[in-house]
Amino acid sequence: MTDSIQGALPITARNITKTYGKVHALDDVSLDVKSGEFLTLLGPSGSGKTTLLMVLAGFTRPDQGSLKFGDQEMIRTAPHLRDVGMVFQNYALFPHMTVAGNVGYPLRLRNVPMPEISQRIEKALETVQLGGYGTRKIDQLSGGQKQRVALARSIVFEPRILLMDEPLSALDKKLRDRMQIELRHLHEKLGMTTVYVTHDQREALTMSDRIAVVNHGRIMQLATPQGLYEQPANRFVADFIGDSTFLSVERHGDQITYNGVPLKTSRPVPDAASLVLMLRPERVRLATKTTKTVNEFQATASELVYQGDSYLMYATMPDGTEISLRGAIRQGTVAALPKIGDHVTLALEPGDTVLIDGRDV
Amino acid sequence: MFGWLRKPASETQVTHGQRLWLYVFAAITMLLLVTPTLIVIPMSFSESQYLEFPPKNWSTRWYEHYFSSPEWMLATVTSLKAAFLTMLVATPIGVVAAYGLHASKVKFIRIAFVLLITPMMVPVVLVAIGAFYAYVKLGILYTLTGLVLAHTILALPLVLIVTGSALKSYDMNQELAARSLGAPRWKAFLTITLPQIRFAVVTSALLSFLTSFDEVVIAMFISGGDNPTLTRNMFNALRDQIDPTIASISTIMIVVTSIMMVLAQVFGRSKADK
Amino acid sequence: MASAFIYADGLRRDERLERLKLFGLSSPAILLVLVILVIPVGWLFFVSFIGADGQFSMENYERMITRKSYFRIFITTFKISLFATALCILIGYPLAYFMSQLPNRIANLCMITVLLPFWTSLLVRTYAWLVLLQKRGLVNDWAISLGLWDEPIKMVHNMTGTLIGMVHIMLPFLILPVYSAMKQIDRDLLKAASNLGASPRRAFWTVFFPLSTPGLFAGALMVFVLCLGFFVTPAVLGGGKVIMVSMKIVSNIELFVNWGAASALGVVLLTLTVFVLWIASRFLNLENIAGGGH
């Protein structure tokens, strides 16, 4: 097995629709995955992300659409002829075979000569840090080890596309965090186009080159992690990625106002009918002195939570909306914090004043 | 020893002593369940025509009578042939059908399943006279083929239920994994699924064999002539008088059944204890 | 980049083909059942409406109402089936309860006493009772030597023998579903009942027993349905004195070659069976009954 997959393929999906009765599992979805890219499909359960992955794998046949791997149309190709690697949520390892039996299975199907099979199995196992585990039985492995065997099995035949369906969700937190980094390294080493499905936004932000946020069978936004976090396309994306509070704002010609007060912003203003101001807790500050350059809001402190490394404060705006703000704790911070019921002034830099499409999607 | 009687026997703190009547009752019931079956074995060695227990004089005359009788031997061979063939026919057809029904998304599967279960739900007499009627028309009355076919439809529901239930607790994702790795559906089934449901398949085969071997009513109608079954002859003999030879045949049948069950355990055991 | 061709019809065809192929896997089985069971029985349905003269007539059905002997046969069949079912419940439920209270390993051993007769040939078991219950048989011999009665009692070729035999054969059919239902009852519920103040007897009747009824119902139903159509054991142990519907059907064909009468009886028996099963399916998942025994 060569160190990096030669010629990773781009994926081109066009107008994929899948309905079950009246429900649109996938609603006219089009997607471009760049060659060698790590793209995550992120969304809540029932959003259609797994359905889309299954369409890519060939296990779900859409009602209509086109799917190309590179230049080849694949939408009507049977799953066993698509030559994609796939890792399942519950690993789907074959319990009646050893680790080597599992990893060697795709090679035996491709009539690879025996000596070469053993060689490639060992190489694949070493890549996932399980060198020498070939003779082990599946029920002797821990969850993390099973995960790696599943991974080794899916890359041993050098597919040019890798699909993963929430592979880390069955692991405990510490292991999951570690595996996220390892998967990322593996991807950088092997270079194959990877499509990853998860509902964990933290995971998506950590691992992906780009993220497609999916809901109701449609792609809400396709962007880099930073792009999604900094400039979400709509409320759903803003809400799903990170924490946020929304304040309704009005547009008067060129000006955007909140509570009648115009807002200063250096961010692009979307061309939407209704707008909201998205507040990220870590971007809102307690104002120490008044400056002309920042946006200021008057509020009443309603709740204060000590979280060790940071504090979380809830403040109620005059119109009743409760917003949250978070700040780091250093020497003297806690003593300087306002008490519950105190009047506070909150500051927001123009660079952090993000306006987004306010529609419900 | 009597201290044990005062110990609690269940979550509700009922004592063993209070439950003594249940223990005695259960013991008697279990005894009554097993005894009639087992008692035939020693009785078959009784010399007397009235099959005494315990036998006053031991003898193997009934066995000798059985083995030296051409009619009984023919019937035995017919029954074994039919049972074996039924096993060979019903098991693959049933397992494949169970898989098809399990993997199928068509709405008709429920109807198909009910249809395939009907031979078990319909009184055997009806199946028998229906088959008799059909076989006269088809010209396969009193043939081994006809017998095997009829016994197969009796065995199919059992195969479907046993295999179906094994498939339900089986992780179909493994088949998806196999297919993603390059195996067409049939190969994935043969190399991945089948090895893991083998206990169910072996049990199905055993049940098919026994269903055919033990079957009386259908055999009464459609076996005979050149192909009488053991059960048919036994039944006719029973209706007339208590032929003690039947005791020896019964013992042999019990032994055959037990062997089959042991075989099933030996060949069928998988990691998951069934 | 050239715009992609969007597949729709082709995909639809692929889907239909795949569904057909999967469904086709069960086609040999379906074909067999249709040819050997459904069509002939369907034909019998028509035959039941043909009278002795070969013309369409209702006489086969009328006979069942007018002729006392036919009526009696139905009553006998029902009586026996009900009695046998009741006895199975009375004997089988305590045994199942007993086994459900045992630790698994011991329970499995006890289960062998239920499964062994279950797998033993029907004829063998029937024959065993024939031998045991005869005038010079074991039961009479021991009863007399124990002083239970003085003269050998006739226990075969009558209702007594038939019932004994049938109950013995049917017991496993009741015990297995009931046991399976009992094993699924959450033990914590009984602890809760005790904790809330219920005596052991109260806890049993108000918590355990109601939760075991689905299994009991399934088992009793299965036994009843099987008894309705039962042939072998009543034929042998009843000795011609106890006549059930199935036996009348057989004698109609074997002795009188009266297909009309036999089919009509068969249709009625089948209708009754289906009716009972239909009632059950309102309350239970039918697949569980069939699967519960294995």
Q: Is B180–A84 a contact, with Cβ atoms under 8 angstroms apart?
A: yes
Report residue C292's pLDDT band, with 50, 70 and 90 as the boundaries. Answer: very low
Sequence-distant (6+) residues with CB within 8 A of A204 are A40, A42, A196, A198, A211, A225, A241
Domain boundary among B41, B63, B85: B63
Distance between CA A57 and CA A73 in Å, rounded?
13
A161-165 and A64-69 strand pairing: unpaired
The reply to whether B274 falls in a domain is no
What's the total number of domains in chain B?
Answer: 2
The reply to whether B174 falls in a domain is yes
C26-52 average pLDDT score:
88
* Claim to verify: residue B54 and residue B80 sit in the same structural domain: no
Residue B194 sits at the chain A interface (C-beta within 8 Å): no
Q: Which domain holds residue B127?
A: 70-268
* Claim to verify: residue B89 and residue B143 sit in the same structural domain: yes
**Per-residue model confidence as pLDDT tens digits over B55-103:** 788 888 888 888 998 988 999 999 999 999 999 999 999 999 999 999 8
Percent of residues, chain C, with pLDDT higher than 90: 27
Chains in contact with A, where contact means 3 or more Cβ–Cβ distances below 8 Å, are B, C
Of residues C138 and A250, which shows the higher confidence score? A250
Question: How is residue C242 annotated by DSSP?
Answer: S
CATH code, domain with B126: 1.10.3720.10
Q: Which helix H or strand E contains A322, and what residues bound it?
A: strand A322-328
* Claim to verify: residue B80 and residue B209 sit in the same structural domain: yes
pLDDT for residue B52 is more than 80? no
Report residue C230's pLDDT band, with 50, 70 and 90 as the boundaries. Answer: very high
Percent of residues, chain A, with pLDDT higher than 70: 98
Cα separation values, A139 from A142, A161, A168, B266, C168, Å: 8, 29, 18, 22, 44
Predicted confidence at residue C84, as pLDDT, reads: 95
Report residue C287's pLDDT band, with 50, 70 and 90 as the boundaries. Answer: very low
* Claim to verify: residue B7 and residue B143 sit in the same structural domain: no
From-to residues of CATH 2.40.50.140 in chain A:
244-357
* Claim to verify: residue B10 and residue B98 sit in the same structural domain: no
The reply to whether B247 falls in a domain is yes
CATH homologous superfamily, domain C69-292: MetI-like (1.10.3720.10)
* Claim to verify: residue B118 and residue B254 sit in the same structural domain: yes
* Claim to verify: residue B47 and residue B74 sit in the same structural domain: no
**Per-residue model confidence as pLDDT tens digits over A284-313:** 988 877 778 888 888 999 999 999 899 999
**Per-residue model confidence as pLDDT tens digits over B109-151:** 888 888 898 898 889 998 998 888 888 888 888 888 899 999 9
What does the domain layout of chain C look like in residue ranges? 69-292
Q: Is C6–A68 a contact, with Cβ atoms under 8 angstroms apart?
A: no
Comparing CA positions, the residue from B137, B152, B118 lying closest to residue C259 is: B137
Q: Is C36–B97 a contact, with Cβ atoms under 8 angstroms apart?
A: no
* Claim to verify: residue B80 and residue B34 sit in the same structural domain: no
Residue C54 burial (10 A CB sphere; 0-12, 13-18, 19+): exposed
Q: How far is C3 from chain B (nearest CA, A)?
A: 29
Q: How far is C100 from chain B (nearest CA, A)?
A: 11
Return the bridge partners of A246, or none: A278
Is the pTM value of this prediction over 0.90? Answer: no
The reply to whether B249 falls in a domain is yes
Predicted confidence at residue B104, as pLDDT, reads: 84
**Per-residue model confidence as pLDDT tens digits over A147-203:** 999 999 999 999 999 999 999 998 889 999 999 999 999 999 999 999 999 999 999
Sequence-distant (6+) residues with CB within 8 A of A20 are none
Report residue B269's pLDDT band, with 50, 70 and 90 as the boundaries. Answer: low
Q: What is the DSSP string of A245-288?
A: EEEEEEEETTEEEETTEEPP--SPPP--SSEEEEE-TTT-EE-S
Where would I find the H helices in chain A? 49-57, 99-109, 114-127, 143-155, 173-190, 201-207, 225-230, 235-240, 333-336
* Residue from B121, B147, B245, B274 to probe the interface with C (highest C Cβ count within 10 Å): B121
pLDDT for residue C1 is more than 60? no
Residue C171 sits at the chain B interface (C-beta within 8 Å): yes
From-to residues of CATH 3.40.50.300 in chain A:
11-235
The reply to whether B54 falls in a domain is yes
Predicted confidence at residue C294, as pLDDT, reads: 34
Percent of residues, chain A, with pLDDT higher than 90: 68
Q: How far is A160 from chain B (nearest CA, A)?
A: 13
The reply to whether B46 falls in a domain is yes
The reply to whether B211 falls in a domain is yes
**Per-residue model confidence as pLDDT tens digits over A75-103:** 999 999 999 999 999 999 999 999 999 99
| Helix (H/G/I), strand (E/B), else coil: A301 | strand
Helix C68-100, helix C159-183: angle, nearest 10: 40
pLDDT for residue C291 is more than 60? no
Residue C5 sits at the chain A interface (C-beta within 8 Å): yes
Predicted confidence at residue B268, as pLDDT, reads: 62
* Claim to verify: residue B53 and residue B144 sit in the same structural domain: no
C12 contact residues in A (CB cutoff 8 A): 63
The reply to whether B159 falls in a domain is yes
- The architecture (CATH level 2) of A11-235 comes to 3-Layer(aba) Sandwich (3.40)
Report residue C285's pLDDT band, with 50, 70 and 90 as the boundaries. Answer: low
**Per-residue model confidence as pLDDT tens digits over C248-272:** 888 888 888 888 888 888 888 899 8
- The architecture (CATH level 2) of A244-357 comes to Beta Barrel (2.40)
Residue A68: CB atoms within 10 A of its CB come to 17
The torsion angles phi and psi of B197, rounded to 5 degrees, stand at -110, 20
Fill in the amino acid letter for C283. F
Predicted confidence at residue C200, as pLDDT, reads: 86
